[in-house]
Amino acid sequence: MESTRKQLINILEKQKEHISGQELSDQLNISRTAIWKHMNELKKDGYQIEAVQRKGYKIISYPDKISENTLQWGLETSWIGKELHHYDQVESTQAIAHRMAKQGKPHGTVIVADEQVKGKGRMSRPWHSPKGKGIWMSLLLRPELAPIQAPQLTLLAATVLAELISHYSELDPKIKWPNDILVNHKKISGILTEMQAEQDQIQYVVLGIGINVNQEEDEIPEEIRHKASSLKIESNKTWEVQTVIQHILRLFEQTYDQYLDSGFEHVKSIWEHYGYRIGEEVKISTMKRSWKAFLVGIEPDGALLARDDSGNEEKLYSAEIHWGEGGYHA
């Protein structure tokens, strides 16, 4: 049933004009009654299908509910998302992406889920991923880069998200080093990059993107409500998850291709443009000392560059940064 249904959707999608029941039944090798039943099922799932006498069927609009078909329909990319897997519920899209990477799935494979029951952040921290409220997605990449360059992909992804939010709303997104997207000092998105590498070559990267899209305030877990938010809460509008995913994939592909062609400089400057507290003073505590630092920007290896009062610059890989009044505290 599932595969005939998928074939049917594929045919209907390619069709600019109506297609007759007879033609569909010939192409799919099933009876016209079976076609009619499938159409009813599709309508129940939210597809709006027009049936015109003597002309046949045509899809008028797609369901809100996302699927592989609806995501790929109108996806203007050349390599990303050509292979795309959508799930209603998973433990974590990261785990699926790793499994697919090991099965040899291609560069650009995308895994999307409506809900994650064991979504994860960095260092195995939990990532809250409620059903239908956000984007929980992993990209499988096979870049010809040295492992040391992998952090650049995370920074690149963060710039893509910041650019999109900025482009499609009045919001003023910020990228908090290393990779949180904040709006009004609250985290609305996190990125988790995991890599499998051999000697000097990356085998594959799984780039996980989590975005809180349509949660209301009371749908954010209480313990993180002071520091987490969603696009809807901040912008006062409902966002179409499917369209946002398609925009992300398109802009990610474009930015990635440009990065491979002309290097990291462009990503760096966009990142610094959106960088939270970049060009400002913050307090930093490391194991060795506690000091007042001016945040200069990011380095090609993903480090945060900070300058102290005497003009000495230091690359930070992990440090406790006191982001300041009203700021975000991890």
Binding segment toward ligand BT5, per CB under 6 A, in 80-88, 125-133, 144-152, 167-175:
125-133
| 228 binding ligand BT5? (CB under 6 A) | yes
| Calpha distance 137→63 (Å, rounded) | 20
Restricted to residues 83-122, the positions that interact with ligand BT5 (CB under 6 A) are 92-94, 116, 119-122
| 8 binding ligand BT5? (CB under 6 A) | no
Restricted to residues 140-179, the positions that interact with ligand BT5 (CB under 6 A) are none
3-state SS, residue 202: strand
Q: How far is the CB of 29 from ligand BT5 (least distance, A)?
A: 39
| R_g (Cα) of the chain, nearest Å | 23
What is residue 224's DSSP assignment? G
Tokens read off for 253? 């592909």
Q: How many residues does this entry show for the chain?
A: 330
Give 19 or 231: the residue with its C-beta nearer to ligand BT5.
Answer: 231
3-state SS, residue 303: coil
Tokens read off for 172? 């003023």
Q: How far is the CB of 138 from ligand BT5 (least distance, A)?
A: 5
Burial of 5 (0-12, 13-18, 19+ CB in 10 A): middle
Residue 27 in marked binding region: no
| Calpha distance 218→226 (Å, rounded) | 12
Residue 201 in marked binding region: no
| 127 binding ligand BT5? (CB under 6 A) | yes
Binder among 137, 140, 158, 321 for ligand BT5 (CB under 6 A): 137
The full DSSP string for 46-85 is T-EEEEETTTEEEEEE--SS--HHHHHTT---SSTTSSEE
Give 9 or 182: the residue with its C-beta nearer to ligand BT5.
Answer: 182
Give 67 or 94: the residue with its C-beta nearer to ligand BT5.
Answer: 94
Restricted to residues 186-215, the positions that interact with ligand BT5 (CB under 6 A) are 187, 190-192, 208-210, 212
Which residue's Cβ has the minimum distance to ligand BT5? 190
Q: CA-CA distances (angstroms) from residue 204 to 41, 142, 197? A: 39, 5, 7
Give 38 or 186: the residue with its C-beta nearer to ligand BT5.
Answer: 186
Please say whether the beta carbons of 6 and 69 come within 8 A. yes
**Strands, sheet with 84-90, edge to edge from the N-terminal-most edge strand:** 84-90, 109-116, 134-141, 201-212, 186-198, 180-183, 174-176
Q: How far is the CB of 153 from ligand BT5 (least distance, A)?
A: 14
| 302 binding ligand BT5? (CB under 6 A) | no
Q: How far is the CB of 265 from ligand BT5 (least distance, A)?
A: 26
Q: CA torsion sign, 126 to 132 to 134 to 138?
A: positive
* Size of interface with ligand BT5, in residues (CB under 6 A): 27
Give 75 or 192: the residue with its C-beta nearer to ligand BT5.
Answer: 192
Give 174 or 187: the residue with its C-beta nearer to ligand BT5.
Answer: 187
| CA neighbor of 155 nearest in space, from 270, 262, 246 | 270
Residues found near ligand BT5 in the complex (CB under 6 A): 92-94, 116, 119-122, 125-129, 136-138, 180, 187, 190-192, 208-210, 212, 224, 228
Annotated binding site for biotin: 116, 187
